Amino acid sequence: MDISLPLDKMTSLDKIAVMEKLWDDLCRNPESISSPEWHKEILQDREREVNEGKAKFTTFDHAKERIRNQTK
């Protein structure tokens, strides 16, 4: 299926609205989407770090700030 959207004419808010509609639709049947094997591996690594006391945590606000600073 070839889908064409006028991305060059869409505002950022329009694009986010489209993404939200797609996400909502995908969430209706989560069992139809399989996670790749590397997701499982990353989760296992993170769980191991937590169990070994090596994991570092931060607040959500601090994480958002760090991400914003990285994308400037």
Report pLDDT for 71: 87
CA dist., res. 25 & res. 18, Å (int): 11
Mind listing the pLDDT tens digit for each residue in 19-69? Answer: 999 999 999 998 998 999 999 999 999 999 999 999 999 999 999 999 999
Label residue 2 by pLDDT band (50, 70, 90).
Answer: very high
Report pLDDT for 72: 80
Where along the chain do its domains lie?
36-72
User: What count of other Cβ atoms lies within 10 Å of the Cβ of residue 52?
Assistant: 8
